[in-house]
Chain A
Amino acid sequence: MQATAKKTGQAKLGSLEELEQLRGELTAAVDPDQTLIVVCHGTGCVANGSPGVTEALKKALADAGEDIKVVPGIKTTGCHGFCSRGPLVIIKPAGIFYQQVKPADAEDIVAQTIQKGETVERLLYKHPQTGDTLSTTEEIPFYAGQQRVVLQNIGQIDPTDIEDALRAGAYAGAAKALTAMQPSEVVEAVTKSGLRGRGGAGFPTGVKWGLAAKHGDVEKYVLCNADEGDPGAFMDRSVMEGDPHAVVEGMIIGGYAIGANEGYVYVRAEYPLAIKHLEMALADARALGLLGENILGSGFNFDIRINRGAGAFVCGEETALMRSVEGKVGEPVPRPPYPSDKGLFGKPSVLNNVETWANVSRILERGWEWFAGLGTEKSKGTKVFALVGKVNNVGLVEVPMGIKLRNIVMDIGGGVPGSDHFKAVQTGGPSGGCLPWEDADLPVDFDSLIAAGSMMGSGGMIVMDDRDCMVDVAKYFLGFLEEESCGKCFPCRLGVPRLRETLVRFSKGEGTAEDIDDLYSLAEAIKMGSLCALGGTAPNAVLSTLRYFRDEYEAHILEHRCPAGVCKDLITYSIDPEACTGCHACFRACPQNAVSGEKKKPHTIDESLCIRCGMCMESCKFGAIQVV
């Protein structure tokens, strides 16, 4: 926003020196020892009421009088990651971590922590296993096991304030690239860093750039794929919301490296906060001369536009995304020609996803050698995962490549509620697959996941327990892809519904062992025959679950039984007369009036009326309702 430039009275920055001078002034203006209240304003915490907490804290501070030296007082930031414990409030510089804070807690926080330096016991995190009360971020296992590179500034900076981003080092990498390096040196640095695309396929980023750069002095484009649509994934959204400058900076570097003067961010319209913060970041960067003509006196011109996607999953596919930006129907086109030769508007183009661009900023800032030292031999750096499902600590985590699945789910994720292991972890979104507990020691990197029949994808990670049916899960993902298929190529449009229909029959206890053989054959045809990766990976959901949970499929087909108790046609609900207290809760909850019985006497369920919605089970406080 122009407001920033007005606020500092800062004119456009004409050189690297002017940028560093401004950064120095901004840093000197803030005392790192001053008390600062940080409130998470990520989408998860906002939904849980963090704006109300912020308002209450502001009021409590004002009421407490002027002897409290808090400048700027309260900072609102992007997603801290620990979404299941939100709203989160951190008191700096001590780093005291308060969770599930309500507006009513504001007075205590101000009176005890800000004024007296004491912690508010009830708001601290308690270790679920040991019962210890942990007072700072660093002590909490959820954070202690992580290594934050892409997320390093999220939770630290106010994403709507470019000055705060500059204090944290924003645009240092881009400035270095533009003023001290040749474009070819930038491509080389990214290649040597070993960075692979975080959108899913893991193609070496530097190699991709080199392919586009070699076209010389023609019109080119860089694009950012922010069309994240995998069920359960919100990594890219959080990066755009929490540190939009990292994305902008990465794209400036990429544009310089390949010789593009224009960039596009293709972001789904379902992400309004991300779009708002990106727009603010672009306006601020323009006002400071970090975007536009002759950036930092380097002679390089570059600007970025935002393109809103209308919510088609297939538009995350690179060729479909480019057609959509062009204003055409978002359908993929066959490659070759590759976008690095003929991409957006037929010009050489480079598309990377949000997390990749954010990594580029760090690599140029700290050097490729540092990045190449992180992760495994073939998968460098870190990966951000959205950890969701049957796991105690739901949230956003960033870990070094090669970390074991077990460490992510059991240590950082705090384990599975009511169980000492997970049944399966679904990785890679609809394109990926389910990995079983037996694979808990699998290193999480691009190649290991593919070898195990899944994939990294953009980083969704859904934890499942014994109450999740693998046939049902595969059915869900196929249903998603059936709806999201563009319908252009025949194997995907015709084949994915047939795969799903077969699974629907399985979930009803119908089908034979031969159907499983047919399933493999059809899956192979869809994988090999489809035009783009949506169809090409669609069978993964069924193939990976068949590979690891074939017994569960056989239980459905041969024994007409759903071991997880999910598939409605194969289960019945019954009431244990010993456990039932006759409290009438299920009687009231049942929408079919299938439950009968007098108060204080054991109830029964009429199976002919029951629609197996599970409302009775949810309402029962005594565990008296069982699934058979």
Chain B
Amino acid sequence: MLNLTIDGKQVQAEPGWTLLDTARQNHIDIPTLCYHEAVEPFGACRLCVVELKVGDNSRLVASCVYPAEEGLEVHTMSEKVKNVRRWILEMLLSECPASEAVREMAAEYGVESTRFEVKNPEEECILCGLCARTCSQVVGANAISTVGRGPSKKIGAPYMIPGDDCIACGTCLTVCPTGAMRARFDQVRGVPAVVMARSGK
């Protein structure tokens, strides 16, 4: 077992655990959006950042991917950590204002409104890519992809052409943290390779 401290509390971790695993096993809450147990951690949403202090130096790391190490001093609610989370949440409020999950999480950090321009009040997608990763790593269908890069990044079928790779299993709908996949499902699914017979009628 590895010994480390989180927020001043002595905790133990199994080798191979991440800092997020360790915190959750010890009932310490760290917010996440792009994380899901079913797929490999991705480190994209950065809401799970924690501060590591080594002597006078400190840095922020994503707890979902950072391995637990012997003797680490971890802070999950330091000013630096809160500064990152508040800004991300405020920016998410302007990007995807329709997402209830984002609004709730933002409210927990005292972010009730955004100073930034709202481009699409209907938008829910936070572009965490969880749908695409689950489709690839769990279902094995690779029917969903992130398309483009930077501010023009989107979620859709590869090349934005609905494909027959989608087996309409609905896993992406289940894992989506904001419900945004509902509006995109038909843009991903082409003509299914297998058309299931309907019962009745």
Contacts and interface: CB of A to CB of B under 8 A. Distances in A.
Interface of A: 312, 314, 329, 333-334, 336, 482-491, 493-495, 497-498, 501, 518, 521-522, 524-526, 528-531
A491 B84 contact: yes
Contacts, number: 93
A336 B67 contact: yes
Contacts of B61: 334
B91 interface: yes
B83 A490 contact: no
A486 B146 CA distance: 11
Contacts of B44: 488-490, 531
Nearest to B43: A334
B49 interface: yes
A521 B84 CA distance: 9
Given A336-B66, A529-B49, A531-B62, A491 B87 contact: yes
Grouping DSSP codes into helix (H, G, I), strand (E, B) and loop, the A interface class, with mixed when no group exceeds half, is helix
Given A489-B43, A490-B126, A531-B43, 17 more contacts: A329-B146, A334-B62, A482-B150, A486-B149, A487-B149, A487-B150, A487-B152, A490-B45, A490-B92, A494-B92, A518-B115, A525-B86, A528-B59, A528-B83, A529-B46, A529-B84, A529-B87
B116 interface: yes
B103 interface: no
B124 to A, nearest CB: 15
B128 to A, nearest CB: 8
Contact of B84 (A312, A484, A518, A528): A528
Interface string B141-172: 00000101111110000000000000000000
Contacts of A518: 115
Nearest to A497: B151
A493 B151 contact: yes
Nearest to B83: A525
Nearest to B91: A494
Contacts of B127: 487, 493
Nearest to A521: B83
B149 A529 contact: no
Nearest to A491: B46
Most B CB within 10 A of own CB, among A486, A490, A501? A490
Nearest to A528: B60
Interface in B39-53: 42-47, 49
B95 interface: yes
21 contacts: A334-B43, A334-B61, A483-B150, A485-B150, A487-B146, A487-B149, A487-B150, A487-B151, A489-B43, A489-B46, A491-B87, A493-B127, A493-B151, A494-B88, A495-B91, A521-B87, A524-B83, A529-B46, A529-B49, A531-B43, A531-B44
B184 interface: no
Given A485-B149, A489-B43, A525 B65 contact: no
B36 interface: no
A154 to B, nearest CB: 34
Most B CB within 10 A of own CB, among A329, A483, A494, A521? A494
A329 B144 CA distance: 13
A530 B46 contact: yes
Contacts of B42: 488
A83 B195 CA distance: 65
A526 B83 CA distance: 10
